Structure 1
Amino acid sequence: MNTATANRQLKVGDALPGFTRSCDEIQLFLYNAVLYNAHRIHFDYPYARDVEGYPGLVVAGPLLGDWLHQCVEEWLDGEGELARISYSNRGAAYVGDALHVGGEVTAVNEDAGTAALVLWVRNDDGATLVPGEATVQLGGGLRP
Structure 2
Amino acid sequence: PPRRPGESIFAGGLGLDVVWQGLLVTALTLAAYFTGVRLETGVWQVAQSGVGVSMAFLTMSMAEIFHSFNMRSQRGSVFALPTHNPWLWAAMAGSLALSLGVLAWPPAAAAFGFEQLAPAQCGLALTLALAVLPAVELGKSLLRLFSVK
Q: After TM superposition, is the score higher than 0.5?
A: no
Q: Which structure's residues are more often helix, by fraction?
A: 2
| TM-score computed with the length of structure 1 as normaliser | 0.28
Q: Which structure's residues are more often strand, by fraction?
A: 1
